[in-house]
């Protein structure tokens, strides 16, 4: 297994808001939602052990228990490494990060158990652990891969130096980072350059800025982005969210948005954004709207 045979759908379905942290889908509604995503050609579902106070993986596992046939049709990503305060983890005394070999192996075993699956397609370390021992973590990855329990490995929210360090010990296939028209840091800090260097596909959480751009506001930056985006939306016969997703996906690293919606209509809208091809100047019009000045 490696980067060459790693693939993701053009959009990733985030599960964070499907369970207790969101709409609390029951199994029947979750089944319908998953099947509708698959009908659109979207087979990647992004989890984390902490979602729903450590319950959302279990909710998804309940679906796979009654519909085991779905497992061969989907790809499962999950994340671990955050030890969150929760009634479901009474042994956690404070919120902390843990990328030790023991914790990663235990986390994967638990995810496999509650997701009702024999393997995870992609495992991400959820947050950088300041006590990370890259050799220890690489040993955990190698053990899981040899056992067939995890096919591919990546990270989330890692800086370029943290990614570089771990990647030198074990091949990583992605860095899931916050990227949007309102969060431009990855364009400045080298994260996207690093993805291009290693042919790594970056995935973007909060690709629409957490919804702030669509709320009533007097924030001048948001108003500039909205005005420019709406003008482009009118030109392309599209919606503002589609233009902002198209803006992300124009980057040559091939940024893949992680959608946070539970509505299939929003998934369809996002998928249509893949067909919008902004020009270079249009891309920079939105950049200029975000930063408030023309490029140097």
Q: Which domains are delineated in the chain?
A: 12-173 (3.20.20.100)
What is the model's pTM?
0.96
Which band of pLDDT confidence, cut at 50, 70 and 90, is reported for residue 1? very low
Q: What is the mean pLDDT of residues 27-53?
A: 98
- Mind giving me the DSSP string for the chain? --STT----SSEEE-TTTSTTTT---HHHHHHHHHHHHHTT--EEE--TTHHHHTHHHHHHHHHHH-GGGGGG-EEEEEE-EE--BTTBTT--S-EE---HHHHHHHHHHHHHHHT-S-EEEEEE-S--TT--HHHHHHHHHHHHHTTSEEEEEEES--HHHHHHHHTTS----EEEE-BTTB-HHHHSSHHHHHHHHT---EEESTTGGGGGGS----HHHHHHHHHHHHHHHHHT--HHHHHHHHHHTSTT--EEEE----HHHHHHHHHHTT----HHHHHHHHHHHHSS---
Looking at residue 292, its pLDDT comes to 97
Verify whether residue 51 is a known catalytic residue: yes
79-123 tens-digit pLDDT? 999 999 999 999 999 999 999 999 999 999 999 999 999 999 999
Averaged pLDDT of the chain: 96
Looking at residue 4, its pLDDT comes to 61
Which band of pLDDT confidence, cut at 50, 70 and 90, is reported for residue 212? confident
Does the pLDDT value for residue 213 go beyond 90?
A: no
57-74 tens-digit pLDDT? 999 999 999 999 999 999
Give percent of the chain above pLDDT 70: 99
Give percent of the chain above pLDDT 90: 95
From the list 51, 188, 198, 284, the catalytic residue is 51
CB burial readout 138-165, b (16+ within 10 A) else e? bbbbeebbeeebbbbbbbbbbbbebbee
Which band of pLDDT confidence, cut at 50, 70 and 90, is reported for residue 5? confident
The answer to whether residues 247 and 181 touch, using CB atoms and an 8 Å cutoff, is yes
């Amino acid at each position: 297994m490696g980067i060459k045979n790693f693939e993701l759908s053009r959009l990733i379905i985030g599960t964070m808001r499907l369970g207790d942290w969101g709409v609390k889908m029951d199994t029947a509604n979750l089944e319908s939602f998953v099947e509708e995503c698959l009908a659109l050609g979207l087979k990647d579902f992004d989890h984390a052990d902490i979602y729903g106070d450590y319950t959302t993986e279990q909710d998804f596992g309940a679906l796979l228990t009654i519909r085991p046939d779905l497992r061969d049709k989907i790809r499962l990503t999950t994340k671990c490494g955050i030890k969150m305060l929760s009634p479901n983890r009474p042994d956690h005394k404070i919120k902390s990060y843990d990328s030790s070999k023991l914790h990663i192996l235990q986390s994967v075993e638990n995810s496999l158990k509650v997701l009702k699956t024999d393997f995870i397609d992609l495992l991400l370390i959820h947050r950088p652990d300041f006590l990370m021992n890259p050799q220890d973590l690489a040993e955990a990855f190698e053990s899981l891969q040899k056992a067939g329990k995890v096919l591919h490995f990546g990270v989330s929210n890692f800086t370029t130096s943290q990614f570089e360090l771990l990647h030198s010990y074990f091949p990583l296939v992605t860095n899931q980072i916050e990227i949007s028209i309102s969060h431009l840091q990855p364009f400045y800090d080298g994260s996207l350059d690093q993805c291009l260097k290693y042919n790594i596909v970056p995935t973007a959480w909060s690709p629409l800025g957490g919804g702030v751009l669509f709320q009533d506001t007097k924030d001048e930056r948001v108003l500039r982005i909205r005005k420019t985006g709406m003008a482009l939306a009118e030109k392309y016969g599209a919606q503002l969210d589609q233009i902002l997703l198209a803006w992300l996906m124009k980057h040559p690293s091939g940024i893949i948005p992680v959608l946070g919606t539970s509505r299939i209509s929003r998934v369809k809208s996002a998928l249509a954004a893949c067909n919008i091809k902004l020009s270079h100047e249009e891309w920079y019009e939105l950049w200029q709207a975000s930063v408030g000045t023309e490029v140097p």
